[in-house]
Chains A and B, each alone.
Chain A
């Protein structure tokens, strides 16, 4: 059977699903789904690709959890489908969007240095289990991690994360959110999370206890103690499934790598034109081939010189080459957000990213050439790809 790819695009005004065959030349665009709502993230279950979780939110109406069981054709808030409304198991509780911090919510550091109570705002990221479609993790703003074991009908916080010096975390300009969740494919009890202006954390017991993994990170312009254990502004981390102890990080400034599951980091920014940026990803078949999109600076959130360039390193960092064919090389002032880059796992690995200007680009050949799949979507918040056999 011919392979297919399904690209899940979350935008500021709805969700879009882009599908193509293995050539990735002709695309079908479906959407907007959840028109008018912010879709921070959508992600399919590796165990059942038809199961997709979507985070829908609005400043007016708050957080909604959406789930599809047919590959994005139809959606329901878990626990309130037509079938469940007529079911015999009592009245649906409508708790798929109930994200309540465990116990006394506690406080974190506020902009003025005082302590501020934790307040739930939205889910930035859903990370489905690698093996069970009913299990998924949710990364929240204000920063916390929640888990469902019933397909999103109910969510429970794993409070050990916030007990890991949470009182010292402080929101940055983009808020204080768990925006990245990585599950070790060789050991599902090992999970990594990253928090803007909070840092990077690891659990080895399925989320009961966590420890900061920030040794080697330097933040001389952001933190009074540049070597602090928490507070580093980690923008994104990623790993390759075949070498899960090797982590790559795009920090506020600096591209970093760790070869020991985050216990120690070293800088691999090398010859990048700027080591500020948001996303970072790994080639599906080459664990030392990584991709970043350099952004001018923390004050100028657009590409250097108005040229949109993806940079690729085939050596796991330090030596970088610009990838420009098919990308605008003048007058381009878009940004690429942290969750807006993904790779497929076809033989010739496809790389995808979305911009704040509403373009979604695809390279069907590991970054050598690029095409815009769509050019005029609302600002893109997230991009995920499913490779369907």
Chain B
């Protein structure tokens, strides 16, 4: 079970309270987790990555285990600690705008 923490505005949009826990079939990559989030919460499609290109939106970041995974390839496997639920996968609204 992968634990996922979404930013405030996306939790509101998808009507999620707190952390999300989703079963993600292996291999558990960044892209697989995003696919699973969007399938469970269709209202979030297009908000984390672009509808057409599936590229990460510029002011979204992905963190896990104190690492910034935002620039890693989409098929990058997530750390074991995320897979076993010890650490969450964080979707972050980047600091921007002053």
Contact = CB atoms under 8 A, between A and B. Distances in A.
Q: Which residue, B43, B50, B51, B97, has most C-beta atoms of chain A within 10 A? A: B43
Interface stretch (A59-67, A270-278, A329-337): A59-67
B1 interface: no
A61 B42 contact: no
Given A60-B60, A61-B57, A64-B13, A97 B93 contact: no
A36 B9 contact: yes
A91 interface: yes
Contacts of B43: 64, 77, 80, 94
Given A60-B94, A91-B39, A98 B9 contact: no
A63 B44 CA distance: 10
Nearest to B60: A60
A61 B45 CA distance: 10
B7 to A, nearest CB: 8
Contacts of A91: 39, 42
Contact of B46 (A35, A59, A94): A94
Nearest to A35: B12
A291 to B, nearest CB: 35
Contact of A94 (B9, B42, B52, B60): B42
Contacts of A99: 51
A79 interface: yes
A62 B7 CA distance: 14
Interface size bracket, B side: 20 to 34
Contact of A60 (B12, B52, B96): B96
Given A63-B46, A80-B43, A95 B94 contact: no
Interface in B13-53: 13, 38-39, 41-48, 50-52
Contact of A80 (B7, B9, B42): B42
Given A61-B47, A61-B57, A94-B43, 5 more contacts: A60-B59, A60-B93, A60-B94, A64-B43, A99-B51
21 contacts: A35-B12, A59-B97, A60-B7, A60-B57, A60-B60, A60-B93, A61-B13, A61-B93, A62-B57, A64-B43, A64-B47, A77-B42, A77-B43, A79-B42, A80-B42, A91-B42, A94-B42, A94-B43, A97-B46, A97-B47, A98-B46
Interface of B: 7-10, 12-13, 38-39, 41-48, 50-52, 57, 59-60, 93-94, 96-97
Interface of A: 35-37, 58-64, 77, 79-80, 85, 91-95, 97-100
